[in-house]
Chain A
Amino acid sequence: DAEITQSPRHKITETGRQVTLACHQTWNHNNMFWYRQDLGHGLRLIHYSYGVQDTNKGEVSDGYSVSRSNTEDLPLTLESAASSQTSVYFCASSDSYGLDGTDTQYFGPGTRLTVL
Chain B
Amino acid sequence: LAKTTQPISMDSYEGQEVNITCSHNNIATNDYITWYQQFPSQGPRFIIQGYKTKVTNEVASLFIPADRKSSTLSLPRVSLSDTAVYYCLVVTQVGSARQLTFGSGTQLTVLP
Contact = CB atoms under 8 A, between A and B. Distances in A.
B100 A33 contact: yes
Nearest to A41: B104
Given A45-B100, A48-B98, A110-B41, A102 B87 contact: no
A101 B32 contact: yes
Interface stretch (B45-53, B58-66, B67-75): B45-53
A35 B101 CA distance: 11
Given A33-B100, A48-B98, A110-B41, A105 B105 contact: no
B51 A56 contact: no
Contacts of A44: 102
Given A42-B87, A56-B98, A102 B32 contact: yes
B102 A107 contact: no
Interface string A28-50: 00000101000011111100100
Interface residues of B, number: 23
Contacts of A110: 41-43
Contacts of A59: 1, 100-101
Contacts of B100: 33, 45, 48, 58-59
Nearest to B1: A59
Given A48-B98, A109-B43, A103 B104 contact: no
Given A43-B87, A43-B102, A107 B45 contact: yes
Contacts of B102: 35, 42-44
Interface in A68-113: 90, 92, 101-110
Interface of A: 33, 35, 40-45, 48, 56, 58-59, 90, 92, 101-110
22 contacts: A40-B104, A41-B104, A42-B105, A43-B102, A48-B98, A48-B100, A58-B100, A59-B101, A90-B44, A101-B30, A101-B32, A102-B32, A103-B91, A104-B46, A105-B36, A106-B46, A107-B43, A107-B45, A108-B43, A109-B42, A109-B43, A110-B42
Q: Pick the 5 closest A-B CB pairs, nearest first.
A: A107-B43, A42-B104, A43-B102, A42-B102, A104-B46
